[in-house]
């Protein structure tokens, strides 16, 4: 009887093993957020980005280790940090958010209707809303906002202006976040060719997705170039001694591309520090070799390394640190 029971148990295990493995695999899902950004607060990472359905707003995922991500268990709105029609500007094209904290409030800069808006919340997972539902004033279509606060407290809005090609601009931001100081507006980066326009498209080439940090008195502007649908969409950076430039492009650009990552369309992300104070860059890639959308989210480690030849620090990518966020 005992032998019979063991035989039945073994046969059952053999029969169930493929099913259990399949079930386990089904539980692990990749994260699909384009133009991603990560905000670290109170021992928790918050991930936002452009959703596949970008007409609804911005979802948020949370994590403790950057690898496994979850929907906010407290959320009642399907984990959307900002929702359309919930006291927020915009009816379509919710793209490229940035979340930051300032004076005990959390803010989200974002794109909607090819305009830039800013909303606020009491918590990093939202809901982000506006007291006055409006976009930041602008004379042209503008996208991809990024706020940089310098050591002296001055605020700068880096962003992309459309028309004649996507070009990155900067302007001093008003202290109340109501708009830019128009007289300070200045162009920073535009595509010139080479890795920035590998398809040699007849339309004006593209630079977008700016992130700016300051390291040892030098400003680093990380950006993406090429059309996001190109397999050569990639990331490079430029440096300056002033937040307004002039910007000198790194001669070894790009620092993140399909040859380094092994995925097409690597770009448009954000730099952040983890719990240990180490830098990481979160970005998106194409869904596959044949499909662009939905774009998948990845994270890779970056660090500064001194170059004796050039007598300056360079941004170096740790190729072995690639993280594939899952749910």
- pLDDT tens string 303-325: 999 999 989 999 999 999 999 99
144 SS3 class: strand
Give how far the C-alpha of residue 218 lies from the chain's centroid of Cα atoms, to the nearest Å. 22
Joined together, the tokens standing for residue 293 give 């959308």
* DSSP-derived secondary structure letter, 175: T
Residue with tokens 């994260």: 31
pLDDT at 185 over 70: yes
45-61 mean pLDDT: 94
Residue reference for tokens 């200045």: 186
Residue indicated by tokens 């950006």: 223
Q: CA 322, CA 319: separation in Å to the nearest integer?
A: 6
* Residues in Cβ contact with 61 at an 8 Å cutoff, skipping those fewer than 6 apart: 31, 33, 46, 47, 69, 70, 71, 72, 79, 325, 327
DSSP letter assigned to residue 18: H
Give the pLDDT band (50/70/90) at residue 1.
very low
Q: Can you tell me the mean pLDDT for 222-240? A: 97
Where do the structural domains in the chain lie, given as residue ranges?
A: 33-323
Q: What is the pTM of this model?
A: 0.91
Torsion of CA 168, 120, 67, 327, to 10 degrees: -110
**pLDDT at residue 72, as a whole number:** 79
CATH of domain 33-323: 2.115.10.20
């Amino acid at each position: 009887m005992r032998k019979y029971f063991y035989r039945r148990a073994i046969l059952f295990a053999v029969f169930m093993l493929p099913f259990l493995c399949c079930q386990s695999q089904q539980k692990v899902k990749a994260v699909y957020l384009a133009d991603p950004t990560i905000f670290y607060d109170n021992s928790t990472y918050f991930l936002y980005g452009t959703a596949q359905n970008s007409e609804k707003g911005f979802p948020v995922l949370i994590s403790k280790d950057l690898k496994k991500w979850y929907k906010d268990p407290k959320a009642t709105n399907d984990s959307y940090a900002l929702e359309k029609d919930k006291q927020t500007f915009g009816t379509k094209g919710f793209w490229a958010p940035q979340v930051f904290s300032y004076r005990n409030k959390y803010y989200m800069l974002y794109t909607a209707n090819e305009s830039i808006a800013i909303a606020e919340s009491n918590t990093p997972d939202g809901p982000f809303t506006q007291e006055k539902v409006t976009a930041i004033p602008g004379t042209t279509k503008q996208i991809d906002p990024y706020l940089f606060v310098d050591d002296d407290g001055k605020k700068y809005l880096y962003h992309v202006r459309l028309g004649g090609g996507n070009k990155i601009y900067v302007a001093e931001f008003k202290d109340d976040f109501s708009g830019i100081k128009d007289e300070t507006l200045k162009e920073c980066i535009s595509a010139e060719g080479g890795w920035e326009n590998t398809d040699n498209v007849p339309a004006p080439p593209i630079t977008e997705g700016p992130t700016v940090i300051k390291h040892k008195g030098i400003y680093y502007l990380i950006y993406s170039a090429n059309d996001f649908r190109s397999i050569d969409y990639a990331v490079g950076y430029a440096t300056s001694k002033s937040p307004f430039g002039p910007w000198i492009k790194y001669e070894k650009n790009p620092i993140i591309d399909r040859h380094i990552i092994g995925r097409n369309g690597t770009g448009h992300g954000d730099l952040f520090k983890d719990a240990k104070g180490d830098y990481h860059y979160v970005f998106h890639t194409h869904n596959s070799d044949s499909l662009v959308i939905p774009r998948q989210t990845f994270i890779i480690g970056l660090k500064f390394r001194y170059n004796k030849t050039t007598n300056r620090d360079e941004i170096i990518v740790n190729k072995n640190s690639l993280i594939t966020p899952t749910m």
